[in-house]
Amino acid sequence: MQALDQLNTKVDMLLKKYAALEAENKRLKATIATHEKTVEILSKKLASLENGMVSVRLGQTDIDEEEKENMRRQLDNVISEIDKILNTLND
């Protein structure tokens, strides 16, 4: 009887661990989905900014330094956000 009780206890512990791992897996999948959506949004924003830069360059041969710096900052911000999200996905 004691062996059956020990086996039952071990089975219960394994079932609890399994349930906890399933919950964590579900949470991680939701986190990944959220990050993937954010990456997609930021990628679209980056593409839009790049298109804007091309349009500005085509329409204006002389871009003043302030505009260049502003565009660089915007692109740097978008790229850094994408990098952060990719790093969290890799963790």
Mean pLDDT, all residues of the chain: 85
pLDDT the model gives residue 9: 93
Distance CA 72, CA 56 (A): 13
Q: What angle do CA 87, 35, 24 make, to 5 degrees?
A: 90
Domain spans in the chain, listed from the N-terminal domain onward: 2-90
Give the pLDDT confidence of 34-54 residue by residue, as tens digits: 999 998 998 888 888 887 777
Backbone angles phi, psi at 59, to 5 degrees: -85, -15
